[in-house]
Each structure stands twice: as structure tokens, then as C-alpha cells.
Structure 1
Amino acid sequence: MVLLVIASVFLLCGTLFQSPEVAAFKPLFKDGSLTHREITQMAILRKTAEVCRDIATARGREFTLTINNRLTPSAVQKACLASSSSALFYLAITETYLSNAAVDVLFALSEARHIDNEAFSEGRDLITRGVAAVKASVQQGSYISARNTLGTLCHTLQDFYSHSNWVELGSSSPFSALIKPDRLLDNLAGPNTPTCKSCAGSNCRDNILPEILLQKKLTSGYFSVFSSQKPAGKCSHGGSLDRTSSREPTGGINKDDVSSDHGFLHLRAAEMAINATMEVLQDIRLATGDQAFLRLVGLSQTSVLAFVIDTTGSMSDDIEEAKRVSFSIIDSRRGTPEEPSEYILVPFNDPDFGPLTRTENADIFKERINSLSASGGGDYPEMCLSGLLLALAGASPSSDIFVFTDASAKDSELKSTVRAMIERTRSTVTFMLTSPFLFRRRRDVSQSKSFTSRSMPSSDKQLYRDLAHVSGGQTIEVTKATLFQATEVITDASTSALVTVLQVLRSPMIAENISFILDPSLFNVTVYITGDSPVFTIYNPTGVSQSGSVADGPLGSILTVGNLKRVKLNSDNQTGEWKISIDSTSSYSLKVTGQSSVNFLFNFVEQLEGGDFTPKDNRPFMGRNSTLFVSVTGGDSVTLTDVLLVEASGSDVVNGTIKSLSATDFLVSIARIPEWAFVVQLKGLLNDSTRSVPSRFQRQSPTQQQGSRVTITAQASSTIEPGIPSVLNFTVATNATGSSYIIRARTDRSFSVSFPSSLDMGTGGSAQGNVTLTAPSDTQSGMDVTLTIEAEDPDSGDSNYVAVRFSVMTKVTDFSSPVCQVVRVKADCPVECSTGSWELSANLTDINGTGIAGVSLSRGNGSFSLSHVMSGDGTNVTVASYNASCCSQEVELVVVDKVGNVGTCFTSIKSPSTTASPNDSTTISSDEAVSTKGSSTVRPNLTTFTPSASYSVSFSMCVTVLGLFVFFLCG
């Protein structure tokens, strides 16, 4: 649990708007306490394992993984037989728990966010609205927004068990009313009801009044850093910075860590928080389905095939090649673990770009790309960066995006915005630049048939090279006749578990020897060299060499096309240190990739005392210290020897100081953020149980990072509702005073945005502004939008950005779950179960709601059908009829309405433990169960059961509420 009081001090001191120098390095764990990070990760791993276990059971496959709090992402991924990279799984978990931790900075003083001051109703509203937003985002495929929102709501949910007296009341299960708004928040301590007595010195074990415990009254601690005032007799949160805890009754009841006033209950509260988080995850799973849930947690995603294609007149050959290579990838990998999990397509020309096609269905992607045709032309430059920006927003993080064009970018003013999106999403962009034989048609109608020979200016190519280098991609320059050879890099990139071992850019050029390490986990290793005149020789660990002019040699095969040389290394004897001796008369880039389960994630973070840390989503402050949180994925144990910030186009290095947090997690202290652009490089040892000696490994982030001397932060205060303007405040701060900064703001969906064109820093070196954002009135609920705000010093060119992601949500008034009524069960099962079957009929209704959207089975392997009838009172009724073998004795129906409210209906024909009277009703509340035995007729409309049949019927209803809630991260 996170100490709220420390986060409050951070906020009060204005650290959100100051340089990172105020952040100090502090221990991540203390005295065995659990943080929000650990609680969230444990819950996600356990629930994900349960989903995979249920899928395996339904498919008749054995699932042997023990589900407990000691699960690791790699263990869960292996047990789930997931083909996705473990890095993607860990990335989804990381996104969720970092957004959880960010609540302590973004909303440090919010009593509702932390369930302080007995704000139970307000806190529940935040939780249920958050759950609704997660479901809507998942339905739209907006998984990043869903994870951010999930982390935020889980913080409030988890704080309940630390900040209230639920654990002290002897509760053994989560307080389900927090996620079910139709449940009463009953037995709350009244505003004038005393709840605590003063602690006996430092001993607060018995400070909750006995009558509160006896009557099971629910309360939470009061907290303030400003004043000691609180209602008479109320409990305090506690801690040195809680001023209310010094006022009678003194002390506190929080269980944030083992040293807190009620720290003796910390581990019980943490376990309760894990179970409550799993309860929310289960509700989301039932509403969205197993496959969507696995996408939410990043487990079912493999590679992404993403194309941004120029569709003007001279691009017909390029479009045909894009079709050929994409169809080849789809057809050759369909049904295999290497099949792309998502397809992205964005066409562009002038003046149009888009629409974005994002689909998991390969046939839909084929249809869309097949419909593209080259036509028109106009003036030479096209809206390339606008199309790329749309793709960056739509694709998953760390995607490979390929841009096909033979024209300059007409919208080059978007370069800084595109760069910011590349940095934020860490996606790799490769430009396929073809040389047209004929220049495009002029806009003048009289010249519509006039063509002229012209190649792309070098300065325009440099724009593409710069963006490719920032992303870790390449700029491949070929003729249209040889494009089909260059597209081999697309086939290479659209594979799962692709990692970057090394990437360097040299400009100005120097002759040098560059070394890199290949470890045993790597396969399909490829070396790419792009440049006009590189001459190279490659050496393996034993000294065997091959010149770059030899197409097929002892080390691999070399493809030369345009400015690209692609070296596919042979699979034999790769492990060890390799070397490339390279010389060139012009700038060049070198990239080494391979497939491996071992990769890493990193985030610049600000750490909070007490355990957790919050992410920095913009550039770190140049020249100041900073902290990296690094996670190595794909292995159960690694030893990091080096974490380096390496100059992106040079050889300078900044070393980090490494502190191990676990077998795979590390905090790295960076003494100084350099002035040059850099990449993060890792070196270390893989501790593999199958090998007696650890093996050396090396990985590198493909995307460049850079520091800045200006910071920009923003905090959203409300959700975005279609058609209604929303105002977002932001702050720009720098060490310089009196400067004027250029302000730019743009969304990835071209929503209406108004903002100041510039801000003057004044004598204090900071200024505030606001952006008004309006989503079109027809925007679908659950769609996400990213607003990027940039601040640039016009004199130095130094800039920074903040990217805030919103979910667009319409107002929802349906707060009721679907209702299930079992009306008929017929079970006459013989001793040999395989020779008999049983039937069930249930009426499903959503009275005064939005209507039933879907019915599915979460348990049972029989068949069911649906029909629709009108009841006598005019209510629309969905009748579910289920039939199964007597060997399958249980069924659970999941009913979801159109806004995501969920109901479950469970029935079993196993021998019951209780017997209902003949007049008992089968309309059962969510916490009740009815069992019937023998030949009694339960209701007049039920069938009469044979004496040999025994069965039980129980009904469980899970209720969720939709509302408006969005999570955002500040810089």
C-alpha cells in the first residue's frame, strides 16, 4: 500500500511542476510490506491463470500451474501456451500498476480516491464508473485506456481495505458492494457516531471502539495535512504527516505497511485487496469475454502488421507490393503462433488521410487493402505524417509500422508531434521510399497530363530518416522495380518476440569495430545496414569472417537492395561476442535483431516514499538525476551488470547504478540525463537452470529518448462526453525566466482543440494554460483519444510534451443488471451418465434497462439456444434453453446488457445439501441459493421431477454500473 501522506507532501511542494532534482532515491520495499504494484500484479496473474485454466479445461487440455501469489509473468505465459512475447504481457501489467501508483500523485488529497474521511459512497462511484469505462474501452479495442482506467480504479478499491476497518471487523471476503451499486452501503458509521479512542502511546491495536466492532459499523480514517480538525470521536488515518492523528482520539487505523498504526493487519488487508481486485477482473472478464480479457492483459497479442500507404497516382506498384507481402504473411501464418494478432491500415494522399482500419480479422484487412487504388496526384507533397500519426495512435505500443511513399511530406510541421508519439508508444517506423520514374500531375487542370522526372529532395528524405532513427526503424530507398526485395524486412518484423540486440547510427562517419553479444535464447538473428556506401566485414566468436560483398558465405546470406544490406545469420554457433568492422563515406545505421523470449521494459519514474513509484510520460530533465525502473522479461532470474544511456548517434555513455528489487526487476539511478539523444542498453547474465554457467546477454531499446530543460504537466479534471467541451489545465516550467514558449496541441483523432499559441514564463519560470477539447457528438462510447501538448523554446529548439489519454463516454442511466429466472429443469439421469441428458430453461430479462446484448456459457459444455417472447405484462423476455449430457452436471449462463452490466445464473444437478419447500420461488437473489430434491413441484410452471432425479439450483448475480471515468497520466 502507498503512503498517501507522502504523496500529499509531494503535491503541496509542487513537485509536479519542478525539475526532478527534488526526487530522492528511496527503498522500494520495507519490512516485507506489499505495495499497490505487487497487489495489482498478483491479482492480474492469478485471474489470468484462472482464465487460461478454464479455457484449457473446456478444451480437454491439462493445466498444471499452481495458482497462488508466487506466480510470475513468464510462468503464466508458458502455462497459457501464449505465443505472444512475455514483454507484451509484462507491459500490460506494468501499464496497469503504474497508473495505479500515479493516483497518489495526481489525486493525493482526494478523500474519495483513497476512501478517507468515510467517503464510501463517493469512492464507490469512482470504482463503478471506472469499471464501466474499462468495459467500454475493451469493446472498442482501446486496451491502453482500459488498462490505465483499471489501474486507477483498483487504487481506490485496494485503499478501502487499508484505510477502513473492514479487516478489523473480522471480514473474510471482499466488500462486494463496492463494485455493485445496486447493493446498499449499509451499516455505515453515522457522521456523529464516535468510532475510535486514543491509542495507548504508540500502541494502536485496540483504538477502534468495541461497540463499533460489535455492531459491525464501517468507518475509515480521517486525514489532512492542513488541519487537525475532524469530527468528534472519529478515527484518523495516522502517520507523522496526518495532522488529525494528533487530535483526540489520537493515532490511526491505516494498514499501508507493516509499520503503520494497524500494520499488524497489513498482510491480511493486502490479501483482501488482491481478492477484491480479482473480483473486479472477473466482472470485466464476464462482460467482455475470455479472448478480449486476454487482450486486455496483453497475453494474446503477437505481432502487428501496420501499413501507412500513399495512394496517389504514381503509387500503383507500391500498393500492389504492399498487397503481395501482406497477403503472403497472412496466408502463410494463418492458424500458426506467428499469425499477426492485429492489422492496421492507413491510406493518405492530399489533402486527405485515413480512415484508420484496425482489425483482428485478416479477411477484413485483406478486403480493405485490396480496395486501395492509386489515383489523382495534385502537388507533389502528401499528408504522410498525418497518416503516420493516425497509425501511431491506433497501433499497440512497440508496434512496427511501415510507410510506403515516393513523395515528400506536406505536413512536415507535425514532425515534433510525431516524434513525441514515437517516444511515447515506442513504436518502430520504417519508411519504404521509392524513386518514381515520373513526377506527379500538377493541380492545374490544363497540366493534368503533364509529367516531369523528379526525385525526392535530399532535405525531404532527411525528415523521414530522422523519424526512422528516432524510432529505431530504417529508411529504405529503392526503385519501384526492386521494392519487392526490400519488403523482406516486413516479413522479418512481423514475427513474434522480436528483440533489438544493438542499433547504432553514425553521422559523421568513422571507421570502427562494433561488437555485440548473442545469447542462447536468440534465433533468426538478422543484421541490417542502411546507407549509401558502407563497406563491412562481419566476424563470429571463433574468428570466422565474411565480407559484405559475399552474398552467401560461412556466416550467412546477404541481400543487397537499394541502400539496404540485410544479413541473415546462419543458425549454427551464434552464441558469443560478434564483431562488425565497418567503414562508410556517408551516414549509415546498423541494427541487429532476433527472436527471443528475453526482452526488457523501462520507464523513467518518480519514487514515492513507502514503496511505490509513478511514471514520467514525458522527457526527463536534462542535466539532472533520474530513476529508471527496469524489468527483464522472459526469464525467471537475471543478473544485470550494466544499464547504460548510450548516445544515439555517437559513442558517449552514461552509466547507471543498479539496485535489484527482485529476480527480474531493478531500479537504476541515473546521475545525469545527457544533452544528447540516447538509447537504453542492458548487459548482464541469464541464469538458466538448464545450463551450469550463466550466459551473457545484451538488449537495447530501439526508440531514442532525450532530455529537456522544460517540463510540461497536465491533469484532467473530468471525462470527455461527446459534443461537450472539456477544459484541461496544463503547466509549463523551466529554469529560464522571461522566455516565451510556443504551444502546440493536437489529438490523434482530429478532435476540435483550442489552446494558446504561446506562453510567457515570467519571472518565476513557469506559466499555466488550458486546452479546450471537444469530441464530435457522434463519437462512440469507449473510444480513446490522446491529446499531445507541446512546449518549445523558439530560440534553442528545446521542447517537451505531455500526452494525456482520454476515454470518450456517453452518459449511462442503466444501473441494473439482467435478471435470470430458472423456470424449468428436467433431469432424469441414469447411473451411466453418458447415456442420458438433462435440460434447463431460463427467462432472461433486462427490465427498464438497455436490453440484453449477449448470453454465453462460462461453465458447462452443453448446447444452448435463445428465443424471444413477450410476457403478459409486455416485458421482452429472452428464453435460454440448455441441453447437456448427464456427465456435465453444472452450467453457468452469463448475461450481459448493452452497457456491460453482467448477471450470472448457475444451475447444478448434483446432489444438493438442502431442500426447498414445494412453494419456494426460483427467483433467487444474488446471495441466495435454492435446492430442490425428489419429485416436488417447485412452482406451478415447473415440471414435475422423477423420484430418481436430484438436483440443485443456485443463482448468482454480478452487477456492474456504467458511468463516466477516464484515467490520465501527468508528465
Structure 2
Amino acid sequence: MVSQVVVAVFLLCGTLFQPPDVAAFKPLFQGGSLTHREITQLAILRKTAEVCRDIAISQGRDFTLPINNGLTPSAVQKACSTSSASSSALSSLSFYSAITETYLSNAAVDVAFALSEAHHVDNEAFREGRDLITKGVAAVKASVQQGSYISARITLGALCHTLQDFYSHSNWVELGSTAPFSTLIKPELLLNNIADPSTPTCKSCIGPNCADNILPEILLHKKLTSGYFSIFSSKKPAGKCSHGGFADRTSSREPIGGINKDDISSDHGFLHLRAAEMAINATMEVLQDIRLATGDQAFLRLVGLSQTSVLAFVIDTTGSMSDDIEEAKRVSFSIIDSRRGTPEEPSEYILVPFNDPDFGPLTRTDNADIFKERINSLSPFDGGDTPEMCLSGLLLALAGAPPSTDIFVFTDAAAKDSELKSTVQAMIERTKSTVTFLLTNPFSFGKRRDVLQSGSFTSRSIYESEIQLYRDLAHVSGGQTIEVTKDTLSQATAVITDASTSALVTLLQVVRSPAIAENFFFVLDPSLSNVTVYVTGDSPVFTIYSPTGVSQSGSVADGPLGSILTVGNLKRVKLNSDNQTGEWKIRINSIDFYSLIVTGQSSVNFLFNYVEQLEGGIFAPKENRPFIGRNVSLFVSVTGGDSITVTDVLLVEASGSDVVHGTIKSLGATDFLVNIDRIPEWAFVVQLKGQLNDSTRSLPSRFQRQSPTQQQGSRVTITAQPSSTIEPGIPFALNFTLVTNATGGRYTIRARTDRSFNVSFPSSLDTGTEGSAEGTVTLTAPSDTESGTDVTLTIEAEDPGSGDSNYVAVWFTVMTKVTDFSSPVCQVVSIKADCPFECSKASWELSANLTDGNGTGIAGVSLIRGNGSLSLSYVMSADGTNVTVAFYNASCCSQEVELVAVDRVGNVGTCFTSIKSPSTTISPNGSYSVSFSMCVALVGLLVSFLYG
């Protein structure tokens, strides 16, 4: 699944506490009404399509996709792609995943802040709501500038909830407004014309009809109000509107009724679709502001559109690792150089070195040359004793890499920080990343080692139990532990090349220990290419059978079904491309542990997230392990096609053959709600089966996919109040709740961050007879932490007796307090436009001054419209103000320009100029002079400023 990333989303209130029917657009699903999920997704799709259209136009390419509410992620992904479908499988999984991260964060507000008037703009809390929105926008921009896209999506989703609720909970729509209330995202503008606290705003509804309960004088004078809401008390200021609905006790007091437009059955449900469309447009307005502040490419990374594969290495830099480091360089450089400029070029590069006692820093870049420079700078040096800080480095990579990343760990030593195993496993589950360990033999160093029967050497992991740690983490993630000599490492790194391709999907993954003779089946469908089978273990013997009965033994290097590479404990089978679709079989017999993984390339994949049903039939996201023995629902999205039938969603035992079947409810063409009656005791993977409906084939084709990352349930859960930002140098207290469905007991508590920030927490909590307990983690970011830095805090609870555990992961953005909310100012100084009828024979010029007043200063100026040349210079005015002078020159055929100025905290100002004129005066030399109407417009530009 995803978010796979999944996804770094708020972890919510305790399962034993059932929140009320919250006052908001419904979070995820509501038949016949638009929800926060749909509003957010539609806004992202439309804005993303607009960005891709503008990029295509600037590059002289066609963009024919209609931009409307009928867009799907697959359609936008395809329209935005510059590669042909035949050159590679086109994956929209990262796009789906990023959208899902954002709207799950949005939906989580309804649980984490169910009764907050500011988060829902209830009780006329307009200023408080706007503060949440504007501070959130500033944090998103800072996170994007730091490349912290997970934190940015979490914050974006939360602020959009408040923004969207404004249109449902206020009377903005009833006032006849036709455009979003831009003041909500511009703190420099005055929030005026709000109804006074003592001003009545509503009258009682007549029976069930609340269509005209807002007072005429409020509508006449365009006074802004929102409904009051409480589940505890009916008190509200005299004459004020209520939110309305069953849970709102204020709506039973005069004036009776409400004004919310949360769904079509609400008191003002007749305006629900208008409010929802306004909320979509307002969300697009925020996205446009973020786009202008960060740039098109960063915006596309924020929404997950530009991601293909990610090349991620965690490398041991101790003295014996020189050969391994050189091999990591070789394989990464080979991938970079062979794919540069192609659709298969990695979209991002991750590098984390580790030694002892140091690990890091994290390098995360989309620039291949920077990655090459960083990995070239690695040099081995003595790390002291044998074990190294492997898991610390891996944890840093997991927190920094995008969701669903394949991470490769190079080491020849045991992990000194094995106590991090549960934290790393929790991060693997949360991010759905795959981890493969490449373990080698440091023969040239005289450190203790064991000799295998084959005569090769193990790694410096002296004991089998220390190797098993790596195996456990690899198998939880869907990766492998490959044990080879240093001489054969170059052959084993073929798995890195395999994984560093776009649209990689998992068809089957099993682990067996102890091993038995067993048959495994997997289905190949027409969308698949580059199908590869991996068998890892010391003694497995296997045979592969095609759908027509042709077989090939694992001991045959080149046979009728494919080519087999044998290196160390790995056998890699590349199936021939001309083999038929249908059901395949592989029979494996072994006397020892082994793993089997089948992968391929395909645009068809899926992601899932846990959701739980609250009171009123509302579904909200659940982001940690579900309760064992209880029911839970999965929200499943199938990517890569809009004509797919899902027939089965199964929880399959990861190390056995037990299965739990889900009940499937379709939510549209590609989305499904799957009810699971019980979460099993054992670890499991999610398997999806169905049919591909291809117009080029007369009959549908069977297909299957599987989540690579293992999942498991727990008898304890942790929930924490999310917070999107913390200030550097100031301790932040995060309260969390521990709830168990087992008998009360004492749980060990662990709390860690991926950046080694100072953290204090209770060492244990006793759930007592009530089965619950509360604790506090205090987190402090160093005072010199840069704004936009993200930090992941993981809190774990473990039952020492049974080993049962659960976790909550919370993403924070470190933000220095923002005091500059004023946008840069643009003043057009001069326009020289002497353009003949044959526009290609002349050019025009514009000069403009851009200033930021007493703000943080202009960080950059760019073009968002116009294909001329822009040059900048810098002067100081007579009053000491720093002025950025922009000079623009363009062909007379390109008659419009829009400049974008961004200050150092992300405030955006724009300046638009056009030399088009509704009427022109033709001069004797055949050129035209500017008409009076255009002069008026230019004078206006000199004294007013247009903001993005």
C-alpha cells in the first residue's frame, strides 16, 4: 500500500473514545455529498493539471486534458507525463499516495480537534481560524523549501480542513458570494464586516425548512457569521445562528435550526454543492499561492507527481568497507548515467553514511551530480569495535525518504543499536518502504567470523541472531537480506538496478521458517513487464511452471522460462518477456529458512489505509496497528486504470497459509471500502485480486497485487494530539494516551526522534483496571534549527511479558515564529512598446521595482507568464529600502507578462502587465501608441499591487 507513504498522518484519539458526529464536511465518505476527501482531491487534481498545462505551453507542447471535476489521478498523471506509454510503465502510485496523505490529514482534524471552534470556524471564530490557515501555509512553504514533503502534506491537509469548513459553516455562500474569501489566506488584509458579538444573525426555522433563517439585515449588509456548536450545552449568544444537526445542542435553543452545509441533508443542504465547489476553488487558491512561492517543480514534488524511482543508500563507512563503497558508487553511477534524461531517471537520491558512534548526515536531493559528489566523498575509516550504528542510519533514511522507497543498506557488521529494531519496524510500517541488506565478508580485516559450509564467509555479524535482526527487518518491509562475499557483491547489486525502475509492483511475497515443501501461485496479467522472481536462502531447491506447463529448475542458468543469476544466498530469475499471461506456479523445497518475492513493472497497483467507523457512520483514518480480534476497515485505491474490477481483498499470513477475507464495497471506479471482521494474531500482508477490463481484449484479464510491507495487529494502541509546528529552543509537550483491550498491565515506553532532538518521557505506564493511561513526551528542537526542518517523533509502548507493542509516529515542522505576513510590492516604472503589425519584427520592454518594505526581504523574482528574458539588478532607494529592479524584454508577439516576487518567508506578490489594448491609434510609421484605456490601467499599476 502507500503510503504508502504511507503516510505520515495525524494519529488519532483512543479507540475507546468515540468522538461525536463532528461539525464539518464529512471527512471521507458520505453518499450523495462531497466530503473533505473529495474536495481536497479535486482541488489537487485541477491545480496539478493547470501547472502541467502551463509547463506544456511554455515548452510548446499540447495539453488537451479538460480541467474540471471529472479528473482522475490516472488521467492527470498520463496528461502530465512527457514520456510515451510504450517507453515505460506509468505509475501513479506516488501521486495517489501524496493526495491520500493530504486528505487523510484533513480528515484527521475532525477527530483530533472535534470540538475546536477555530479548526472548524464555528462560533464566529474567523480570526482564530485564519490564524491556523496562514500559519499553516507558512509552514507548508518552509517545509517544501527544505524538501520535507511529508510534513508539508500533513500541514496542508490540516489547514485545508479549516479553510474548507469556512464555506460550509459560515454564511459566505448565502451572502451571494461567487468567489472564495481570499482574506482567509492573506493575513495582511483586514477581516472586516463580521457580525458583532451582540448582533443577532438568525431566526428560528419554520418546521424542517431552514432555507431563510438568516436575518434579512445580515444578508443586506453582507455581515459575516458562522453557526454556534456544542455537544454539551445549549447556550449561545442571543439571536445567533447555530450549526445545526442532531449533535448540536445549541440548535434546540432559539433561534432553532442551523446553517451548516456539510452534506445534502444538512439544514442548509440545498447549498451543499455550491459550498463544496467554493471550497474546491478556495483550496486551489491556497495551492496556487504555494506553487508561486516554491516553483512548479517543487509543487509537483509536493503532490507526488514528479516521483519515479528513488535511489536510496545507507552505507557503512568503517575501514573494511572500501570495496562496498566503491561498488555502491559503481552501481549508482551506472544507473544515473544510463537513465539521465529518460523516463526511468530517478527523481530523488538519498544517502546516509554510518559508522560508530556517528551516523548521517542525510543527503536528499533531486540533483544527480550532488548525489555523485556526496557518495564520492565517502571514505572508509576505523569504526572502533565491530558493531556499527546501522539502524540509526536506516532510521534517518526511513524518515527522510518518500513513502514506498526501496532502501539498500551496505554493511559487513552487526548493528550496535539493535534496541532501535522496534522503532525501525514501526517506521517501515508507516512509510511502506522496502529495505534490502547487502551483507559482505571483511576478510582483509582480522575480525571474528564464521565459515559457512560452502566455504564463503558471513559478514562481521558474528552470530546468527545478529544476522537474523537484518532478516527480520528486511522481511517486514518486503526486502531481502543478501549475504555475499566482497568479490561477488557486484553481481548481487543487480537487485538495485531491478528496484530502481518506475512502476515496480509486488505480485507475491512469502517467508518460510521452518521451511517445508510447498507450491506457490501467482498470476501474470497483460500490463506486466520485466517480471523477476527472487529466492533468498541457504538451501532452497525450486522449479518454476508456466501456465502451459513448461518448467525450469532453479539449477538451470538459462532455460525455456528465463535466466537465473546465483550469487551468495540469492537466486534471481528474470522471466522471458514472451511468456504468456495466466497462473504460474513455483514449487520450493528447503531444509532452512527462505523467502520468495515476485515483482514486475506495471501501471496497475494499489494502496490502502486503515480507517475506523465512528458515531454517525463517519469514517476517520487510523494510522497505527489495529486492535487484534476487532474489526477494521481498509480504504483501498487501485491505481493505473479507471476500468478495474476488484474481486478479493485478503489478509494473508506472512509466514503461513491462513487468510482473512474482506467484504468489498465500491466507492467509485477505483476506490473501495473493505470491511475486515477481525484482525488476526499473526503478521500479514494485504493481497488484492481482480480483473483488468482492457478495450483491446475481448475478455477481462485476471490480476493480483500484494503489499510488500507486512502488517500486524496489537492489543494496545497509542494516540497523540497532533501538532504541525514546534519552535526551535522551546520545549514542546505532547500528551499521549495508552489504551489496551487486554487486562491492565505495565507497558514500557520509548520515544525517539530521527534527528536526535532532546526528548523526555516516562519509562513506563500502568494501564490499571481501566485499561488506559496517559503520558507526556517533551520534545525540544535545538535553537539553531532551520525553519522548515521536519522531525519525526515515534512513541512506542511494549508489553514486556508478551512482546506485544504499538506505536504512534508524529511529524513536526520546526518553525521560527513568523511575523512578516506582508507580500512584496511591485511598481511598474516604464513600458516601451512600439510594436508594428508584424509583431515578430520588434520587441517591447518593461521595467519594474519590487520591494518588501519592512519585511524579510525579497528572496527571488521569476516569470509565471511570458516567454521573454528577465534580468534583475539591486539598488537602494533614497529612504534606505532595498529595491529589486526587474527588466523584461519580449517579442511583440508575446504581449503579456506576470512577475512573481517571493520574500524570505514565502509571501508572494505578483505584477501583471499586458500591452494588448481594446483600441489602438495607428501612427504614421505603422506602429501603435498605447490607448487611453491602457494608460489608465498603467497608472493603476503604479499605485496598486496585485497579489498572488
- Assess same fold via TM > 0.5: yes
User: What is the aligned partner in structure 1 of residue 389 from structure 2?
Assistant: 383
In the alignment, is the contact (CA less than 8 A) between 1:96 and 1:148 conserved in 2? Answer: yes
**Shift, 1:17, TM fit:** 4.3
Structure 1: how far apart are the matches of 2:247 and 2:620?
20
The match for 1:69 is 69
Show structure 1 runs of 5+ residues with no match: 1-10, 443-450, 916-930, 943-950, 960-971
Of 309, 312, 318, which residue of structure 2 is paired with 1:312? 318
Distance 1:900 1:114 in 2: 25
User: Deviation string for 1:263-299 (max 9, x for gaps)?
Assistant: 0000000000000000000000000000000000000
Name 1:239's counterpart in structure 2: 245
Q: Deviations over 1:153-174 (max 9, x none)?
A: 1111010110011111111110
In 2: Cα distance, 1:349 partner to 1:851 partner: 41
One-letter identity of the residue aligned with 1:658: I
The Cα shift of 1:375 comes to: 1.7
Q: How does 1:865-944 map to 2 (within 5 A)?
A: 865-912=871-918, 933=931
Match in the other structure for 2:379: 373
Give the corresponding residue for 2:641. Answer: 635
How far apart, in 2, do the equivalents of 1:932 and 1:192 lie? 53
> Which residue in 2 is equivalent to 1:5?
none
Aligned residues: 913
Q: Who is 1:86 aligned against?
A: 92
Aligned partner of 1:461: which letter? I
Contact 1:503 1:591 (C-alpha < 8 Å) held by counterparts: yes
TM-score by length of 2: 0.93
What's 2:926 paired with?
A: none
Distance in 2 of aligned mates of 1:275 and 1:935: 31
> What residue is the counterpart of 1:55 in the other structure?
55
For the residue of structure 2 that corresponds to 1:112, the secondary structure is helix
Shift of 1:349: 1.3
Q: Which residue of 2 aligns with 1:190?
A: 196
**Once the 2 structures are TM-superposed, how far is the Cα of residue 189 of structure 1 from its aligned partner?**
0.7
Corresponding residue of 2:36: 36
Write out per-residue CA displacement over residues 300-334 of structure 1, whole angstroms, 9 at most, x where no aligned residue. 01111111111111111111111111111111111
Deviations 1:120-176 (A, max 9, x none): 111011101111110000000000110111110111101011001111111111011
Distance 2:116 2:64 in 1: 44
What amino acid sits opposite 1:751 in the alignment?
A: F
Aligned partner (choices 786, 792, 796) of residue 780 of structure 1:
786
> For residue 759 of structure 1, what is the aligned residue in structure 2?
765
- Is 1:416 the counterpart of 2:422 in the alignment? yes
Q: What corresponds to 1:958 in structure 2?
A: 947
Q: Quick check: 2:293–2:906 contact (8 Å CA) kept in 1? A: yes
Q: How far has the Cα of 1:736 moved from its partner?
A: 3.6
Counterparts of 1:280 and 1:58, CA distance in 2: 23
Give the alignment of 1:283-432 within 5 angstroms: 283-432=289-438
- Quick one: which amino acid aligns to residue 510 of structure 2? V
The CA distance in 1 between the partners of 2:360 and 2:791, in whole Å, is 16
What SS does structure 2 have at the residue aligned with 1:135?
helix
User: Could you tell me which residue of structure 2 aligns to residue 924 of structure 1?
Assistant: none
The corresponding residue for 1:18 is: 16
C-alpha contact (below 8 Å) 1:716/1:729 kept by paired residues: no
**Structure 2 unaligned regions, length at least 5:** 1-10, 84-89, 449-456, 922-928
1:563: Cα distance to partner? 0.5
Shift of 1:933: 1.8
- Find the aligned partners of 1:689 and 1:934 in 2 and give their Cα distance: 58
Distance 1:935 1:399, change over 3 A: closer
Structure 2 CA distance, aligned partners of 1:489 and 1:237?
57
* Structure 1 residue 606, shift from structure 2 partner: 1.6
The residue that corresponds to 1:945 in the other structure is none
Shift of 1:872: 1.9
Aligned to 1:809: 815
Q: Is the 8 A contact 2:27 2:37 kept in 1?
A: no
1:380-779 aligned within 5 A:
380-439=386-445, 456-608=462-614, 613-716=619-722, 719-779=725-785
**Is residue 835 from structure 1 mapped to residue 841 from structure 2 by the alignment?**
yes
SS at match of 2:560: coil
Conserved 8 A contact 1:501-1:698: yes
Per the alignment, do residues 392 and 34 of structure 1 end up closer, same or farther by CA in structure 2, a change over 3 Å counting? same
Quick one: which amino acid aligns to residue 650 of structure 2? L
- 1:798 is matched with 804
Q: CA deviation at 1:672?
A: 0.6
Summarize deviations over 1:171-203 as a string: whole Å, max 9, x none. 111011011111111111111111111000110
**Aligned residue type for 2:582:** G
Q: 1:289 to 1:209 in 2, by over 3 A?
A: same
- The 1:954–1:298 alpha-carbon spacing in structure 2 relative to 1, beyond 3 Å, is farther
**Deviation for aligned residue 1:958:** 2.6
- Structure 2 Cα separation of the partners of residues 251 and 889 of structure 1: 54
Name the CA distance, whole Å, in 1 between partners of 2:130 and 2:17: 35
Could you tell me which amino acid in structure 2 is paired with residue 933 of structure 1?
Answer: S
Q: CA deviation at 1:573?
A: 2.8
* Displacement of 1:372: 1.1
1:266 maps onto 2:264 in alignment = no
How far, CA to CA, are the matches of 2:276 and 2:673 in structure 1? 23
* Larger mean Cα displacement after TM superposition, 252-261 or 376-385: 376-385
After TM superposition, give the deviation of residue 478 of structure 1 in Å. Answer: 0.5
Shift of 1:609: 5.8
Residue deviations 1:93-127 (CA, integer Å, cap 9, x gap): 00001110111000000001111001111101110
Relative to structure 1, the CA distance from residue 719 to residue 793 in structure 2 (aligned partners, 3 Å threshold; closer, same or farther) is same
Distance 2:947 2:616 in 1: 35
Q: CA deviation at 1:735?
A: 2.9
In structure 2, how many angstroms separate the alpha carbons of the residues matched to 1:361 and 1:27?
Answer: 38
Report Cα offsets for 1:714-742 as digits up to 9, x if no partner.
Answer: 11457311111100011111134441110
Change (3 A) 1:764 1:937: closer
Question: Deviation at 1:574?
Answer: 3.4
Deviations 1:550-599 (CA, angstroms, capped at 9, x unpaired): 11111110000010000001111331111111111111100000111010
Structure 2 counterpart SS, 1:435? coil
Q: Distance in 2 between matches of 1:580 and 1:899?
A: 57
For the structure 1 residues 21 and 158, does the alpha-carbon distance in structure 2 shift closer, same or farther, using more than 3 Å as the test? Answer: closer
2:895, 2:682 → 1: CA distance? 66
Secondary structure of 1:911's partner?
coil
Once the two structures are TM-superposed, the CA of residue 254 in structure 1 deviates from its matched residue by 0.4
Cα distance change on mapping 1:286 and 1:206 into 2, 3 Å:
same
Q: Say whether residues 1:855 and 2:861 are aligned partners.
A: yes
Question: Which AA in structure 1 matches 2:65?
Answer: L
For residues 718 and 901 of structure 1, do their structure 2 counterparts lie closer, same or farther at Cα, with a shift above 3 Å needed?
A: closer
- Computed over aligned residues only, the root mean square deviation of the Cα atoms, in angstroms, reads 2.4
Q: Is the 8 A contact 1:906 1:956 kept in 2?
A: no
* Pair 582,811 (structure 1): closer, same or farther in 2 beyond 3 Å: same
For 1:282, the equivalent position in structure 2 comes to 288
1:104 corresponds to 2:110: yes
CA contact (8 A) 2:29 2:619 kept: no
Query: Against the structure 1 CA distance between its residues 895 and 21, is the aligned structure 2 distance closer, same or farther, given a 3 Å change threshold?
Result: closer
Letter in 1 for 2:514: P
Matches of 1:722 and 1:82, distance apart in 2: 42
Which amino acid in structure 1 is aligned with residue 180 of structure 2?
A: P
